[in-house]
Amino acid sequence: MTNDLLPAPAGTPRRDRAGDVFAAALRDRPGPHWLVHDDGRHRALPVRRWHGPPEPATRAVVARCAGPTLDVGCGPGRLTLALARAGHAAVGVDVSSYAVRLARSRGVVALRRDVFAPLPAEGRWAHVLLMDGNIGIGGDPVALLARCRDLLRADGTVLVELEAPGPGLWRGHSRLVSRDADGEPRPGAAFRWARLDTVAAHGVAVAAGLNVRTLFAAGRRWFGELARRG
Ligand SMILES: C[S@@+](CC[C@H](N)C(=O)[O-])C[C@H]1O[C@@H](n2cnc3c(N)ncnc32)[C@H](O)[C@@H]1O
């Protein structure tokens, strides 16, 4: 288990297989699919939810948005859609071309981009969203949040989904595990991933140049709103 704030090992490519892995789960619906972490924890991937309409918990997130919002790792774009329906300028970005096609087919603006590569309107977004475990993107939450901070305007915030208090920060490798035609578990390739809970979020945010402004729950899910420091 890795639970410190160390940067990723030198020479580790920033962009890894995560986009391909999630695209495979999106294609092969309805699953089941699990995300299995190398600390032994696992969780079923809510792929049906990603394909579905915005669920009630998204309202609490959308209600905190006021201005142009970037939905990072948008998948099929249900959050981007919820934002657009609420009257916000919203753009989804995802490394997976399949996810971007699905999002566009819902009528939202979506771009195929790696969050760590140049993005439109850097430094001018009112909000950046990291939902559905997307704090794991790249396997280094400090680097990801620092990148999101650079995308924000001075009074902007990052809205991030977190784990309930308890497990802290974990960084490591994860795999998508699906069932093959015989019902046997089929593990995919490992990719770098991370998880972050509401307690560890404070230290990670500060290391990324942000402060946790507020934590809130919607149903059984937890979220944080992080504002720029200074
Ligand atoms: C856990 S899924 C989240 C699903 C999504 N929020 C939804 O509603 O469908 C992670 C998403 O992040 C995308 N992703 C992974 N690495 C990325 C990167 N470096 N930049 C942008 N998107 C990335 C994946 O392609 C995938 O769609």
Domain assignment present for residue 39? The answer is no
Domain assignment present for residue 26? The answer is no
* CATH number of the domain within which 201 lies: 3.40.50.150
Domain assignment present for residue 187? The answer is no
- Tell me how far CA of residue 13 lies from CA of 36, 185, 192, 195, in angstroms: 21, 28, 10, 19
| Overall domain count for the chain | 1
> What's the domain range around 65?
55-171+193-228
Domain assignment present for residue 27? The answer is no
- With beta carbons less than 8 A apart as the criterion, state whether 125 and 164 touch: no
Query: How far, in Å, from the CA of 49 to the mean position of ligand 1?
Result: 14
For ligand 1, say whether the CB of 17 is within 6 Å of any of its atoms.
no
Could you say which residues of the chain have pLDDT below 70?
1-16, 29-30
Domain assignment present for residue 41? The answer is no
Domain assignment present for residue 85? The answer is yes
Best substitution site from 21, 50, 61, 134 to test ligand 1's pocket, by max atoms within 8 Å of Cβ?
134
- Supply the pLDDT for residue 77: 97
- Supply the pLDDT for residue 219: 94
Structure confidence by residue, pLDDT tens digits, 99-125: 999 999 999 999 999 999 999 999 999
Residue identified by tokens 């619906």 is 29
- Residue 114 pairs with which residues in a beta bridge? none
For the whole prediction, is pTM greater than 0.75? yes
Query: How far, in Å, from the CA of 64 to the mean position of ligand 1?
Result: 21
Mean pLDDT of the chain: 91
- Supply the pLDDT for residue 182: 80
- Supply the pLDDT for residue 184: 86
- With beta carbons less than 8 A apart as the criterion, state whether 207 and 144 touch: no
- Supply the pLDDT for residue 4: 35
- Burial group, residue 114, by CB count within 10 angstroms (0-12, 13-18, 19+): middle
